[in-house]
């Protein structure tokens, strides 16, 4: 197939030339505070396991209990025969906790978002999305038959001007934005969607478990109930999968028409058992959220005033450096200090806003956060010096 071969080769060369090639890296213990790479330990500030549940012995036990009770796989899609008491129980728990009538389970947040937008939207519909929404939402919107418009990030005036032209739209935003750690103005957005007879979808992948009373998320903080709430289990739950929370009627509709639900094998029942257990841990173990906010305060104290620092409430701490190369070189320098932080580059974030995406988890210690901040100070300083030197160098040559 020469066509596909040459296409693949060209795309890979282009990626490399742009310096944007990415590689899979084998890491050990990466679901804990100390990850291991090529024989060395690093303090891990790059996981989304905000509450530190991903390797919690209690949760591991719960999954093992589920395995003994239900065996390994679900053996079918939910409508055929893959829906067990464990799945039903998880759905019921989510509904009670978050205040909805129905919850529909999916194997990932990516598929939940696709299933939702594909099954709900038709040709003459309008879909309005925050410009910084997650790739799964953007891609689903572009592939859907609806007309998609993006409103400026967290800009309710811009959103209103769009709603004014196209009332009865589907408005989609995140509660907490994954690359910026900032929060959407949900109560204002909710007022707007009500005023313009529109529906509001909130993807709270990064807010659920972390924010709000008993970890009920961004909507609890804003005191609103959206028409549709998407929660994912790969972040604060420490597991994987997702749920769409909604009315009984929409739940029935999704059960019939959400293709990623109908035609995909149900998650293993043992995983549903573990997720139910994580649900309980999230609601009852308040200390995890308290710890996160204490660590966040230490980070802010140490970094505020430094160019690139951004104050956030959630445990996502972006440190914006601008150029992709700078982000990479600071991340490399941090590794020499045994600190593991991910450099986030375009196309994941806009050109010129490459950053370090630092995430805190409830399993970090104050000491580890202090090691992060002192290493970061040093790495930034070295980087400023070396870019200064290379400038002198160029000047001398000229
Ligand atoms: C991570 C994430 C998803 C995707 O969820 P997965 O379960 O990892 O597929 C969807 N939306 C947002 C906002 C996310 O951050």
45 annotated as belonging to a binding site for a ligand: no
With CA atoms as reference, report the closest residue to 14 among 24, 2, 4, 6: 6
Which domains, and CATH codes, for the chain? 24-51+286-393 (3.90.1150.10), 57-284 (3.40.640.10)
List residues with catalytic annotation. 48, 134, 174, 178, 203, 206, 235
Among 49, 54, 105, 109, residue to substitute to test ligand 1 (most atoms within 8 Å of Cβ): 109
The answer to whether the CB of 114 falls within 8 A of the CB of 260 is yes
Residues with CB under 6 A from ligand 1: 108-110, 113, 134, 136, 174, 178, 203, 205-206, 232, 234, 240, 242
Task: Please give the Cα distance from 267 to 366 (Å, whole number).
Answer: 37
Give pTM, 2 decimals: 0.95
Residue nearest to atom 3 of ligand 1 (CA): 109
Distance 48 CA to ligand 1 centre (A): 10
Residue nearest to atom 4 of ligand 1 (CA): 109
E strand map for 72-190 = 102-106, 126-130, 147-151, 170-174
Q: Provide the b/e sequence for 232-252 (b: ≥16 CB within 10 Å).
A: bbbbbbbbbbbbbbbeeebbe
* pLDDT tens over the chain, length 398 residues: 689 999 999 999 999 998 778 889 999 999 999 999 999 999 999 999 999 999 999 999 999 999 999 999 999 999 999 999 999 999 999 999 999 999 999 999 999 999 999 999 999 999 999 999 999 999 999 999 999 999 999 999 999 999 999 999 999 999 999 999 999 999 999 999 999 999 999 999 999 999 999 999 999 999 999 999 999 999 999 999 999 999 999 999 999 999 999 999 999 999 999 999 999 999 999 999 999 999 999 999 999 999 999 999 999 999 999 998 999 999 999 999 999 999 998 888 889 999 999 999 999 999 999 999 999 999 998 887 776 565 555 555 44
Contacts of 394 (CB under 8 A, 6+ apart): none
Task: Please give the Cα distance from 33 to 359 (Å, whole number).
Answer: 11
């Amino acid at each position: 197939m020469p066509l596909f071969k040459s296409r693949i080769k060209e795309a890979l060369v282009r990626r490399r030339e742009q310096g944007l090639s990415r590689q899979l890296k084998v890491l050990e213990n990466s679901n804990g505070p100390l990850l291991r790479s090529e024989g060395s330990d690093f303090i891990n500030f790059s996981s989304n396991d905000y509450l530190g549940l991903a390797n919690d012995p209690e949760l591991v036990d719960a999954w093992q209990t589920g395995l003994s009770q239900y065996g390994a796989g679900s053996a079918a899609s939910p409508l055929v025969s893959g829906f067990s008491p464990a799945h039903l129980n998880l759905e019921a728990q989510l509904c009670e906790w978050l205040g909805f009538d129905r919850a529909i389970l999916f194997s990932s947040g990516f598929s939940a978002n696709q299933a939702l937008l594909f099954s709900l939207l038709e040709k003459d519909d309008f879909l309005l999305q925050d410009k910084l929404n997650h790739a799964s939402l953007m891609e689903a919107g572009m592939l859907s038959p609806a007309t998609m418009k993006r409103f400026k990030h967290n800009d309710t005036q811009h959103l209103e001007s769009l709603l004014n032209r196209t009332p009865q739209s589907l408005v989609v935003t995140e509660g907490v934005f994954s690359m910026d750690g900032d929060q959407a103005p949900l109560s204002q957005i909710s007022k707007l969607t009500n005023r313009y007879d529109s529906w509001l979808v909130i993807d709270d992948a990064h807010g659920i478990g972390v924010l709000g009373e008993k970890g009920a998320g961004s909507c609890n903080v804003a005191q609103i109930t959206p028409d549709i709430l998407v929660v994912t289990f790969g972040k604060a739950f420490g597991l994987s999968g997702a749920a769409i929370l909604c009315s009984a009627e929409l739940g029935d509709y999704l059960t019939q028409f959400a293709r990623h639900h109908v035609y995909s094998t149900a998650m293993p029942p043992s995983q549903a058992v573990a997720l139910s257990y994580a649900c309980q841990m999230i609601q009852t173990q308040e200390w995890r959220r308290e710890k996160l906010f204490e660590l966040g305060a230490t980070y802010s104290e140490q970094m505020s005033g430094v160019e690139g620092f951004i104050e956030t409430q959630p445990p996502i701490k972006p440190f914006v450096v601008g150029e992709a190369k700078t982000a990479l070189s600071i991340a490399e320098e941090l590794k020499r200090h045994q600190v593991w932080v991910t450099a986030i580059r375009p196309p994941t974030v806009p050109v010129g806003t490459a950053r370090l995406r630092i995430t805190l988890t409830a399993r970090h210690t104050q000491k580890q956060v202090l090691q992060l901040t002192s290493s970061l100070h040093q790495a930034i300083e070295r980087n400023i010096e070396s870019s200064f030197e290379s400038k002198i160098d160029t000047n001398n040559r000229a």
